[in-house]
Amino acid sequence: MKIVADAGLVEVQELFTEFGELELISGRDIDAAAIKDADALLIRSVTTVTAELLNGSSIKFVGTATSGTDHIDVESLHSRGIALADARGSNANAVVDYCFAGIGYGVTNRGIDIKQSRVGIVGHGCVGSLLAQKLNAMGVETCLCDPPLQEVAGPQSTDKYSTLDVIAQCQIVSLHVPLSKNTSHQTLDLIDAEFLRSLRAGTLLINTCRGSVVNEIALLQVLGERPDLCCVVDVWENEPVPRSDLVMAVDFATPHIAGYSLEAKRAATRQLLDQFCQHFDITAAHTGGTAESNRVAFVAAECRSGDVWEAILEMFPLKRISEEFKTSVAAGNSQQAFDELRKKLVARRELRSYQMSGIKWKGGQRLVGNALGIESV
């Protein structure tokens, strides 16, 4: 058996070598010639799988170490009888950590009182539901919007789900929907000028799902009209070369790294391994290590005040990442910044991996630390 895999997949060599020939290629360089005689293809979001890529190949299995599959022509796979596997949910905790870093910025720099705020969550799947769960554990009120799930649940779900109009009145809005086009619940340009203009004063908007869910022209225009809005954006319409004017206009801009963590990347590759073995009816001799169980020591003195939100922003240096990305985009090096920053952040640890010492929790901040899995000693 021959397997072609993105060289950036964590633990791919350790987990898949035993099954035959494993060829590692940079994800952006995977082409039709590279997979012509391969049986399986393992990718990330930087590789687009089209009918043209698959033509003439012997591919029987495509695994993507991502939750979304909008970079894959799913119909072409189905028509060829090619199995598709994804890693849905593997990076949910990492993305939620990113959201809390964004919220931390709102709390520490924008005067948001999280205890008095409602958080509007658009999309109640793996990430959205986990975000809601952790916020609720902190005593924070959440407001959910997910029309497809509401439709499935029926009339009895009207108390659980709200409309976008209601979401617009929340102090914080976080987006977690898949990108869908030409469907009854299309999310392309879901967040348009009308919605953005209806946001309450000082709203914090976080987008970690897909760039095209937000109409970028409208966002740029409304930000020019409303400097009170705060935007944390991780995803872009034309990755890896986003609009430079929009990158500069938002408060924090990052190169699609919300789901990048050591834990998430390992979990994604292992999920692909499970589905690969199931498809080919084989048993893996090796299922990966357990290094992510080791705690990372964090001394409260490393942050300015011992405040839990300040500590979160030290553990997840959102400001530094954004500054580095913006500098590269301004210099015309967007694609290079995407690739290099992502490589750096593969070793990022999730908040639940940290063990804090010397912290004096303020008020309800213990609830924050506990909900995020941060251990205090």
Query: Where in the sequence numbering do the catalytic residues fall?
Result: 210, 239, 256
Q: Which residue has the tokens 């209601």?
A: 166
What is the arrangement of strands in the sheet containing 2-6, beginning at the earlier edge strand?
21-25, 2-6, 40-43, 61-64, 83-85
Distance CA 69, CA 179 (A): 9
Closest CA to 15 of 345, 316, 275, 351: 275
182 DSSP 8-state letter: S
Q: Which residues contact 263 (CB under 8 A, 6 or more apart)?
A: 93, 94, 292, 349, 350, 353
**With contact defined as beta carbons under 8 Å apart, do 85 and 60 qualify?**
no
Q: Which residues contact 352 (CB under 8 A, 6 or more apart)?
A: 93, 372, 373, 374
Distance CA 59, CA 36 (A): 8
